[in-house]
């Protein structure tokens, strides 16, 4: 590995929003996740749990419940009182309908996907009919006082169970009448304390499962209204509950951050008598587990500590190994930082503002591993607040540092930044061309003359930037075949000749910028693209996929390079393929053309194409052992992957110049301290 | 009744009265398992390391059958669903440290001694500990744990499932299995782990879809688990000395019974579910009601981690006083083999935690009449020890000691010795306490009138004089009998001080070697001062001439003067055996030598005054006339030397001896009060009517023996010569008892397991009576012959007839 001067940046104060609700779609293998700031994300389990789609939040639109209808339509409802349908190809709200019952706390779709039930603040349960292109109000069910916090349909669609405060009710869908009322707190205390039913599930056997604020998971016979079983799992609330499709396993999440699994097990071998038994406890979260989901092979939980945890069930797995490993996701799978290499600026994207920082500098040199004193501290230059309730989709700073662009769902902003000594002035570029919004990715050309805007339906717009502060729409690229999905990754060659764009259907199109035409399409690979970059010298496009495969595609020759074929023939190292997080950024070292610099959340890697690839018997992370070896032995042990895990979690890494790197870290502890305090628990030995 | 395996015997206790009702002996080695016969609740199976299984009628204490299996039996299980077989754990032949669970077919043949050779292996690679195998619901399956593996074998399906927990040693400890228990009605296995977790396994009939839940309260190893009879509750215990009751297998519903004294070793449930009992590492059985309230405890001498106080005799109760529970002083009555009471000295909550330095009691001294008690406690710290000297006054009204004065940091460093001035006739205010410390001084403490009007007591203690000698560490102190002289040893030198003026009178030394023990002679010999050095010399100085009277080369460990005579006992440690020498200071020749006292190192000794002087026939044992000598070895076995005439008592029983071999052991072994490797089991509620019946059947001698204190009765081995005699000259039974000068000693074989246990073993010293009847041969049995005799005794009586 070459030796670099590293800017270790820790002043990116990103606090990921907590997970509010989860909806798992078993057929597509997709998980929809809503965060407390209203952002909705879609994870694709088939594509190695890649965060495929992100719909940024909206101040006025919190999401309290998500559900999939008929497999591919995603609905969300929140305290704003509206039910929204999301357009997953354009990554925005397609339509929204007012629920008419005040804030909506819960929403559930029936098994056939024809009706949606919502539970409202005013105590009403309303039925909506799902029609093509939207939903239609159908009718109200029997209304009583008390907000409906949770809802569940009986799998036969005949009844709905609803949980409220102190009570659970069962409605007959046809008549709309309440057919059963069960007081939940009846058994608890002499002193009556409010018992909140946080979550409910209606099983096909007629059992209603509730989880409540007394830490209990209770099983009720809805017809008789009797308690079948009660399990106290926690001293604090049990906030969430999810049942597997086979109805033999339940996962619950508590406000202490623990999740528990319940299983329906035979009491005796061979006998038919079965009982729910609390089996496995997991403590992956530090804060409230607000949402859980149960896939056929895994327990999924999301907490206010912004973590999404996927815990595969060992007994459902065919074999032990990579598939059965625990996954934790805290940070987004995309880039929130952009870097102006020449000006040594960093632009940080937050949900509703941008921060521009100038890196510090030093004039000293030191040995390997030494921390150099700074002669100039990093400087917070400017903070740009986005106007309006919408959150930022994407942002970028030009390499020269004088242009700044960001986009929200309905607006696109371009700024001209001027530096005059220590003072800085930001001026909005007037009259930006009307584009197809929102922009999903922004990219400046290497000479800062052009701005590329990735847009819906696979199109990319080229804007020419004009001094002293204007711009002009030059051209719009569209793929030859009609593509409904938006472009979410862009890469531009440093000579300004080529542009690569990856869209949501995982196709990569290459455009010629000189003659404004489509050049070629990279052969389709059936996995999500996580990062793209064009080599500055050879104009090879390096592509990282979510299954951790790496490809190198020669743009002038329109085919994969020889090295890429070797990689495919030999296969990548097992340890490399089993990493958890996708490559989020690729860059190159102009001094050393055979080097490719890649990083994900947990490592930074220099890939040296001139060295042989490691086979599975070799140690992938061998930097520390190499250091101890004598020179001759070291030569033999060298392989292409040089991995550094010093910086974690790594949100961004880039090469400023030949021997200067910038690493943006966000230590977990730093952002944990900014979260609200978790429930105080007495820990033994403290 | 509560049945408990103890050493080579099975003891039966009454749950109602805590009394030992019966001791069943007959096994030649450690009893490893006892199980009620599932088909007859009046019968009991016991297994032993000697390779035999015995079936007892425990109401009558008679063995019904003996099955010889052949190899060592390490654990025993009996199941109702297996009509005629038992399960035992035996070592795998040919391999060391591997054990297997086998089922033994019990032959139905008539006769007492049967061979049971029909073995069939059930499980391989099991653990030797009986806690690590459990049989499930109605004998459907058996679960065994070892290290990190759980094996479940289903009898009907003949299917073996193995599960393991991850071997990773996390920071919270390792998760090796320590014990296992099976639910009585459901398919559920509970396992305890070394990191304090309890796992409840279900669905284990599937190889893959098994599942378990975890209960975690214990912070250290779970020692034992037991399900209630209905299976609704699970009991667990560990080193925290807290019994935890888990209801409905839920982590949130648990109850505790804390402060049980010491770590819980075993838990056992009564078959009717009304009682449960826990067995503790400090040699105690606690009986607990099903509503988790303490009911009773069966306890003898409490075993403490380290007897730092030494053996001290309470002048008031004649009880032996030593460390008991951590921070407590136990008063142990030798007469009744019971703990009289336990005095909390430290008065702090004991927290069990590895590596935590606890305040512990290190020194104890009584004033002559037992009016005052001085205690020293210290907490071991690396930099500076935390010391407290406490003085307790005996309150006649409450019949207990009351704290009078507490002195913080009486010395700068550890206190090495402490003594009161023993002057019976003097007034109370002349009472003086001397402490010696490693800070090179000795301090004299006296009582002063309390001037503070608010103080509730009239007197308190304060320092009167500080003496030192050449800045040597003071190691021992001792007052002469009349209290006029104080001897303090400073490393190599003994200094003698006038106790009135605190002038240094003279010094003695015997270089090289530091002084280990000093004491003044008594009565006739009060002009002598005895000292033992760590270079193996015993010296006697004459205080009048200030010269060395005599010295002997002897590596003395313990030097103990008899308070009621001029005799001094010295215990030496040489080449792996302890020897006892008793001498008078005025003559350099010992009056009594007992070599090879025992194999363990004797740590402490004490003379306990007898209530009334014994009549002693032999000149040799004259020194035991007024006091009895007790020893405590470093494995915490308490022993004594005695020289009782046993004739009258034994006459009737010895007749019985001749008749049946196994029976007579019973009354004697009962009295031995052996508390060794114990395994509590089952108690069954039987009609109380049976008890008086039984007593009537006993011969009067047995009855008497039952109510005679343990320490005054001979060991089982004493029976041997009697037995021989009765065989030889059957006519002269009466005189047969006046037998043999026999020094018998029963010291148990070293424990084979890690459990540190203690024996309260008796050493019997019989009267040396005229031996005309038997002739020289019998009475002059050499040591080796004696041993041989003991070995052979049980097997071959024809050998004896050769006499």
Structural domain contains residue A300? yes
Q: For residue B74, what pLDDT is reported?
A: 85
- What's the average model confidence in pLDDT over B483-497? 86
Q: How many domains does chain A have?
A: 2
Indicate whether B168 and B291 sit together in one domain. Answer: yes
Q: List the single residue in A232, A267, A685 with the smallest CB-CB distance to B250.
A: A232
Structural domain contains residue A106? no
For B195-208, how does the pLDDT look when each residue is reduced to its tens digit (9 = 90+)? 888 888 888 887 77
Structural domain contains residue B185? yes
Structural domain contains residue A587? yes
Select the residue from A279, A281, A317 to test the B interface by mutation, using most B Cβ atoms within 10 A: A279
- Which of the pair, B140 or A369, is modelled with greater confidence? B140
List chain A residues with CB under 8 Å of B140: 269
List chain A residues with CB under 8 Å of B252: 215, 232-235
Q: Which of A411-415, B248-252, B739-743 has the highest mean pLDDT?
A: A411-415
B332 in contact with A, Cβ within 8 Å? no
Indicate whether B87 and B165 sit together in one domain. Answer: no
Nearest to B533 by CA among B555, B507, B506: B555
Q: With cut-offs at 50, 70 and 90, classify the pLDDT of residue B647.
A: very low
- What's the average model confidence in pLDDT over A23-28? 89
Residue B141: closest C-alpha in chain A: A269
Decide if A233 and B251 are in contact by the 8 Å CB cutoff: yes
Residues of chain A that touch chain B, judged by Cβ-Cβ distance less than 8 Å: 215, 231-235, 261, 263, 265-269, 277-281, 315, 684-685
- The answer on pLDDT for B365 being more than 90 is no
- Which of the pair, B164 or B752, is modelled with greater confidence? B164
Indicate whether B287 and B148 sit together in one domain. Answer: yes
Structural domain contains residue A286? yes
Decide if B252 and A234 are in contact by the 8 Å CB cutoff: yes
For A179-203, how does the pLDDT look when each residue is reduced to its tens digit (9 = 90+)? 999 988 755 556 667 889 999 999 9
- The answer on pLDDT for B787 being more than 80 is no
Indicate whether B319 and B381 sit together in one domain. Answer: yes
Rounded Cα distance, B13 and B21, in Å: 5
* DSSP annotation string for B442-490: EEEEEEEE---TT-SSSEEEEEEEEEESTTPPEEEEEE-TTSSEEEEEE
Indicate whether B195 and B149 sit together in one domain. Answer: yes
Q: With cut-offs at 50, 70 and 90, classify the pLDDT of residue A667.
A: confident
Indicate whether B88 and B102 sit together in one domain. Answer: yes
Structural domain contains residue B27? yes
Could you list the residue range(s) of the whole structural domain that residue A252 is in? 238-330
- What's the average model confidence in pLDDT over A471-478? 86
Structural domain contains residue B59? yes
Structural domain contains residue A494? no
- What's the average model confidence in pLDDT over A169-186? 88
Longest dimension (CA), chain B: 90
Select the residue from A269, A272, A316, A319 to test the B interface by mutation, using most B Cβ atoms within 10 A: A269
End residue of a domain, out of A295, A330, A365: A330
- What's the average model confidence in pLDDT over A300-310? 91
List chain B residues with CB under 8 Å of A277: 202, 211, 213, 249
Nearest to A280 by CA among A257, A248, A241, A251: A251
End residue of a domain, out of B260, B277, B299: B299
Q: Give the SS3 label for residue A668.
A: helix
| CATH code where residue B86 lies | 2.130.10.10
Select the residue from B137, B231, B250, B251 to test the A interface by mutation, using most A Cβ atoms within 10 A: B251
Indicate whether B285 and B319 sit together in one domain. Answer: no
Decide if B187 and A684 are in contact by the 8 Å CB cutoff: no
Pair type for strands B568-574 and B577-583: antiparallel
Structural domain contains residue A603? yes
Rounded Cα distance, B69 and B115, in Å: 6
Q: For residue A347, what pLDDT is reported?
A: 93
- What's the average model confidence in pLDDT over B672-700? 29
Decide if B211 and A232 are in contact by the 8 Å CB cutoff: no
Residue A42 Rama label (left phi>0; alpha psi -120 to 50; beta): beta
Which backbone phi and psi does A188 adopt, to 5 degrees? -80, -75
Indicate whether B47 and B66 sit together in one domain. Answer: yes
Q: Give B37's strand partners.
A: B40
List chain B residues with CB under 8 Å of A231: 248, 250
Mean per-residue pLDDT of chain B = 72
Structural domain contains residue B218? yes
End residue of a domain, out of A309, A330, A351: A330
End residue of a domain, out of A279, A295, A330: A330
> How much is the ipTM here?
0.76
CB of A265 closer than 8 Å to CB of A277: yes
Q: With cut-offs at 50, 70 and 90, classify the pLDDT of residue A669.
A: confident
- Across the A:B interface, residue pairs with CB atoms under 8 Å apart total 55
Indicate whether B161 and B241 sit together in one domain. Answer: yes
H, E, C per residue of B238-273: ECCCCEEEEECCCCCCEEEECCCCCCEEEEEECCCC
- The answer on pLDDT for A31 being more than 90 is yes
Indicate whether B53 and B75 sit together in one domain. Answer: yes
For B77-89, how does the pLDDT look when each residue is reduced to its tens digit (9 = 90+)? 888 888 778 888 8
For A214-239, how does the pLDDT look when each residue is reduced to its tens digit (9 = 90+)? 888 999 999 998 989 888 888 888 99
Q: With cut-offs at 50, 70 and 90, classify the pLDDT of residue A323.
A: low
Q: For residue B780, what pLDDT is reported?
A: 36
Q: For residue A355, what pLDDT is reported?
A: 92
Q: For residue B660, what pLDDT is reported?
A: 27
Other Cβ atoms less than 10 A from the Cβ of B627: the count is 22
Structural domain contains residue A562? yes
Structural domain contains residue B415? no
For B510-532, how does the pLDDT look when each residue is reduced to its tens digit (9 = 90+)? 767 788 888 888 877 888 888 88
Indicate whether B159 and B207 sit together in one domain. Answer: yes
List chain A residues with CB under 8 Å of B213: 277-281
Q: Give the SS3 label for residue A122.
A: coil
Q: Give B553's strand partners.
A: B537
Longest dimension (CA), chain A: 84
Residues 6+ apart with CB under 8 A from B396: none
For A350-397, how does the pLDDT look when each residue is reduced to its tens digit (9 = 90+)? 988 999 998 888 887 777 778 888 888 888 888 989 888 889 999 999
Could you list the residue range(s) of the whole structural domain that residue B150 is in? 130-299
Indicate whether B232 and B197 sit together in one domain. Answer: yes
Q: For residue B648, what pLDDT is reported?
A: 35
Q: How many domains does chain B have?
A: 3
For B287-316, how does the pLDDT look when each residue is reduced to its tens digit (9 = 90+)? 888 888 888 888 777 777 677 777 888 888
């Amino acid at each position: 590995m070459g030796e670099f001067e590293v800017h270790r940046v820790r002043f990116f104060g990103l606090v990921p929003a907590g997970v509010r609700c989860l909806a798992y779609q078993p057929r597509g293998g997709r998980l929809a996740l809503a965060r407390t700031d209203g952002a909705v994300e879609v994870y694709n389990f088939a594509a190695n749990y890649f965060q495929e789609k992100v719909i940024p939040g909206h101040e006025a639109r919190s999401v309290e419940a998500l559900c999939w209808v008929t497999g591919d339509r995603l609905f969300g409802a929140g305290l704003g009182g509206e039910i929204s349908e999301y357009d997953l190809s354009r990554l925005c709200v397609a339509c929204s309908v007012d629920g008419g019952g005040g804030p909506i706390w819960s929403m559930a779709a029936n098994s056939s996907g024809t009706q949606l039930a919502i539970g409202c603040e005013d105590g009403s349960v309303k039925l909506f009919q799902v029609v093509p292109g939207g939903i239609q109000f159908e009718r109200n069910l029997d209304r009583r006082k008390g907000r409906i916090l949770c809802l569940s349909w009986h799998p036969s669609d005949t009844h709905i169970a609803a949980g409220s405060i102190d009570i659970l009710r069962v409605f007959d869908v046809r008549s709309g009448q309440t057919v059963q009322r069960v007081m939940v707190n009846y058994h608890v205390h002499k002193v009556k304390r409010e018992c909140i039913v946080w979550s409910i599930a209606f099983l096909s056997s007629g059992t209603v499962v509730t989880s409540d604020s007394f830490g209990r998971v209770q099983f009720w016979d809805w017809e008789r209204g009797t308690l079948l079983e009660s399990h106290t799992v926690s001293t604090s609330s049990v906030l969430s509950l999810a049942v597997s499709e086979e109805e033999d396993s339940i996962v619950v999440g508590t406000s202490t951050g623990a999740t528990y699994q319940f299983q329906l097990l035979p009491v005796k071998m061979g006998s038919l008598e079965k009982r729910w038994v609390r089996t496995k406890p997991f403590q992956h979260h530090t804060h409230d587990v607000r949402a859980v989901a149960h896939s056929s092979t895994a327990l999924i939980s999301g907490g206010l500590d912004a973590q999404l945890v996927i815990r595969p069930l060992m007994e459902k797995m065919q074999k032990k190994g990579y598939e059965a490993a625990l996954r934790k996701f805290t940070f987004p799978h995309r880039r929130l930082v952009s870097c102006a290499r020449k000006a040594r600026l960093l632009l940080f994207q937050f949900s509703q503002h941008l921060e521009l920082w100038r890196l510090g500098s030093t004039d000293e040199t030191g040995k390997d591993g030494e921390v150099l004193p700074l002669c100039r501290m990093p400087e917070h230059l400017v903070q740009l607040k986005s106007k309006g309730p919408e959150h930022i989709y994407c942002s970028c700073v030009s390499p020269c540092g004088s242009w700044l662009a960001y986009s929200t769902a309905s607006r696109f902003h371009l700024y001209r930044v001027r530096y005059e000594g220590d003072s800085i002035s930001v001026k909005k570029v007037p009259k930006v061309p009307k584009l197809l919004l929102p922009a999903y990715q922004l990219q400046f050309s290497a000479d800062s003359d052009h701005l590329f805007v990735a847009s819906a339906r696979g199109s990319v717009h080229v804007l020419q930037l004009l001094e002293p502060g204007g711009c002009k729409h030059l051209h719009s690229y569209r793929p030859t075949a009609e593509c409904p999905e938006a472009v979410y990754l862009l890469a531009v060659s440093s000579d300004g000749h080529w542009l690569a764009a990856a869209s949501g259907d995982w196709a990569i199109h290459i455009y010629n910028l000189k003659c404004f035409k489509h050049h070629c399409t990279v052969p389709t690979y059936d996995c999500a693209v996580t990062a793209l970059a064009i080599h500055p010298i050879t104009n090879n496009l390096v592509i990282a996929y979510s299954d951790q495969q790496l490809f190198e595609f020669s743009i002038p020759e329109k085919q994969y390079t020889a090295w890429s074929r070797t990689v495919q023939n030999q296969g990548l190292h097992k340890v490399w393929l089993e990493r958890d997080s996708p490559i989020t950024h690729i860059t190159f070292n102009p001094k050393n053309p055979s080097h490719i610099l890649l990083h994900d959340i947990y490592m930074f890697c220099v890939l040296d194409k001139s060295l042989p690839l490691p086979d599975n018997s070799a140690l992938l992370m061998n930097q520390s052992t190499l250091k101890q070896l004598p020179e001759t032995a070291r030569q033999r042990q060298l392989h292409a992957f040089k991995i550094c895990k010093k910086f974690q979690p790594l949100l961004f890494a880039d090469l400023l110049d030949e021997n200067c790197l910038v690493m943006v870290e966000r230590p977990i502890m730093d952002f944990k301290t900014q979260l609200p305090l978790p429930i105080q628990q007495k820990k033994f030995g403290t | 009744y509560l049945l408990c395996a103890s050493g080579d015997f099975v003891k039966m206790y009454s749950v109602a009265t805590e009394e030992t009702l019966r001791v069943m002996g007959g096994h030649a080695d450690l009893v490893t398992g006892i199980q009620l016969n599932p088909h007859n609740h009046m019968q009991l199976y016991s297994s032993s390391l000697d390779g035999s299984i015995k079936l007892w009628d425990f109401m009558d204490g008679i063995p019904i059958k003996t099955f010889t299996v052949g190899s060592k039996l390490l654990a025993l299980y009996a199941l109702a669903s297996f009509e005629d077989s038992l399960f035992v754990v035996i070592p795998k032949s040919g391999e060391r440290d591997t054990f297997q669970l086998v089922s033994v077919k019990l032959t139905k043949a008539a006769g007492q001694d049967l061979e049971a050779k029909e073995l069939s292996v059930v499980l391989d690679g099991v653990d030797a500990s009986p806690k690590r195998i459990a049989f499930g619901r109605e004998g459907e399956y058996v679960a065994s744990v070892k290290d990190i593996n759980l094996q479940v074998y289903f009898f009907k399906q003949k299917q073996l499932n193995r599960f393991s927990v991850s071997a990773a040693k996390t920071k919270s400890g390792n998760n090796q299995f320590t014990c296992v228990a099976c639910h009585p009605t459901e398919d559920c296995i509970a396992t305890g782990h070394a990191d304090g977790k309890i796992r409840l396994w279900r669905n284990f009939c599937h190889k893959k879809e098994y599942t378990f839940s975890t209960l975690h309260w214990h912070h250290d190893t779970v020692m034992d688990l037991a399900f209630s009879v209905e299976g609704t509750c699970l009991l667990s215990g560990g080193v925290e000395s807290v019994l935890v009751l888990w209801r409905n297998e839920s982590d949130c519903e648990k109850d505790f019974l804390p402060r049980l004294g010491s770590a819980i070793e075993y838990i056992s449930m009564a078959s009717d579910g009304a009682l449960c009992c826990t067995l503790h590492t400090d040699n105690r059985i606690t009986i607990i009601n099903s509503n988790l309230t303490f009911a009773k405890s069966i306890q003898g001498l409490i075993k403490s981690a380290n007897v730092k106080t030494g053996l001290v005799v309470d002048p008031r109760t004649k009880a032996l006083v030593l460390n008991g529970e951590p921070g407590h002083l136990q008063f142990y009555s030798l007469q009744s083999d019971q703990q009289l009471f336990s005095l909390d000295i430290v008065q702090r909550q004991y927290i069990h935690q590895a590596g935590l330095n606890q305040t512990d009691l290190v020194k104890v001294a009584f004033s002559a009449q037992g009016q005052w008690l001085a205690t020293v406690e210290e907490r071991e710290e690396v930099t500076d020890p935390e010391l407290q000297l406490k003085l307790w006054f005996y309150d006649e009204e409450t019949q207990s000691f009351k704290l009078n004065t507490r002195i913080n940091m009486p010395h700068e460093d550890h206190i090495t010795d402490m003594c009161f001035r023993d002057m019976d006739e003097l007034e109370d205010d002349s009472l003086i306490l001397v402490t010696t410390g490693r800070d090179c001084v000795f301090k004299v403490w006296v009582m002063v009138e309390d001037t503070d009007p608010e103080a509730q007591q009239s007197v308190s203690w304060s320092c009167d004089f500080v003496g030192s000698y050449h800045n040597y560490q003071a190691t021992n102190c001792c007052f002469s009998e009349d209290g006029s002289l104080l001897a303090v040893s400073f490393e190599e030198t003994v200094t003698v001080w006038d106790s009135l003026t605190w002038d240094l009178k003279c010094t003695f030394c015997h270089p090289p070697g530091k002084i280990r023990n000093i004491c003044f002679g008594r009565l006739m010999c009060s002009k002598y001062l005895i000292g033992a050095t760590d270079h193996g010399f015993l010296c006697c100085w004459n205080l009048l001439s200030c010269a060395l009277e005599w010295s002997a080369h002897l590596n003395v460990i313990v030097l103990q003067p008899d308070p009621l005579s001029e005799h001094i006992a010295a215990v030496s440690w040489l080449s792996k055996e302890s020897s006892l020498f008793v001498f008078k200071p005025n003559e350099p020749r010992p009056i009594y030598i007992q070599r090879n006292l025992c194999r363990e190192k004797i740590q402490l000794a004490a003379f306990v005054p007898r209530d009334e002087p014994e009549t002693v026939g032999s000149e040799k044992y004259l020194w035991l006339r007024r006091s009895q000598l007790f020893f405590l070895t470093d494995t915490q076995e308490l022993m004594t030397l005695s020289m009782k005439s046993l004739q009258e008592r034994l006459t009737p029983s010895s007749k019985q001896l001749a008749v049946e071999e196994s029976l007579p052991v019973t009354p004697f072994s009962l009295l031995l009060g052996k508390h060794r490797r114990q395994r509590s089991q089952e108690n069954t509620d039987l009609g109380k009517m049976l008890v008086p019946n039984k007593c009537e059947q006993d011969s009067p001698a047995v009855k008497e023996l039952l109510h005679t204190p343990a320490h005054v009765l001979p060991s089982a081995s004493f029976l041997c010569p009697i037995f021989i005699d009765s065989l030889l000259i059957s006519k002269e039974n009466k005189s047969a008892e006046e037998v043999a000068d026999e020094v018998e000693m029963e010291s148990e074989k070293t424990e084979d397991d890690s459990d540190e246990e203690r024996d309260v073993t008796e050493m019997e010293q019989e009267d040396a009576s005229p031996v005309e009847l038997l002739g020289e041969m019998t009475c002059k049995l050499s040591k080796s012959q004696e041993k041989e005799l003991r070995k052979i005794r049980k097997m071959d009586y024809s050998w004896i007839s050769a006499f």
